[in-house]
Amino acid sequence: MNEKKTGSMRRKGTISDTIVHVLLAVLAVIWVIPILWIVLLSFSSQKGSYVTTFFPKGYTLHNYIVSKRLLMARSLIDQGMPVIKAAQESGFAEYSTFSRAYRKQFQQSPGASKKQQTL
């Protein structure tokens, strides 16, 4: 009897993990398309015309990528994922780099953001 319960629980966990991974893959594709478009246009004959108008002055492609990764991490944290795992899932190798960037963009630490969700 216990085997059936644990088997169905495993299937539910596997299904929810699959759904999360599919959603993250879709989000990654949505975020990658504008980046690829910019890169491809940067090699065109009109050097810099689209790339410079796509981003506001002082906003770089690197800033755009980091911003999208931070938004993804914030979304994962809001869904209840542990902060360190959300940092890793959104592409940050070092937690300290993630924490610094998160604090700079959202004016609060990732841990404080997590605590707000639990209240």
Helix axes 95-106, 110-118, angle to 10 degrees: 70
Q: Answer whether 113's CB lies under 8 Å from 74's CB.
A: yes
Each residue's pLDDT tens digit, 6-35: 555 556 667 778 888 888 888 888 878 877
Can you give the pLDDT at residue 70?
A: 95
> What crossing angle do the helices spanning 61-78 and 110-118 adopt, rounded to 10°?
30
Please return the burial class of 77, using the count of CB atoms within 10 Å of its CB with bins 0-12, 13-18 and 19+. buried
Q: Which amino acid type is present at position 49? A: S
**Tens digit of each residue's pLDDT (9 = 90 or more) over 47-104:** 555 556 666 667 777 888 899 999 999 999 989 899 999 999 999 999 999 999 999 9
Q: What is the pLDDT of residue 112?
A: 84
Could you tell me the sign of the dihedral formed by the alpha carbons of 35, 38, 42, 48, in that order?
Answer: negative
